[in-house]
Amino acid sequence: MSTLDAAASRELTLVELVDRLLGKGVVIAGDITLAVADIDLVKVELRALVASVDALSATAEVTS
């Protein structure tokens, strides 16, 4: 589906997984309590997001 290498592809898939499972989907009202673990996961997502941007950018440099 894309020209990313395996490692970049895995990182992108993880970002997309985290984005969906933690940020989307049906929410049970009143269930939104921001715990320490949630904050840590937001940091994981941001790190992974930056990594995925780098991975995507590396692909563009290779293919252009």
Among 5, 39, 47, 50, binds another protein (CB under 8 A): 50
Sign, CA dihedral 35-37-40-44, equals: negative
Q: Does 37 bind another protein (CB under 8 A)?
A: yes
Among 5, 16, 39, 47, binds another protein (CB under 8 A): 16
Chain Cα centroid distance, residue 25: 15
CB within 8 Å of 41: residues ≥ 6 apart: 18, 22
Residues 17-36 that bind another protein (CB under 8 A): 17-28, 31
Q: Does 7 bind another protein (CB under 8 A)?
A: no
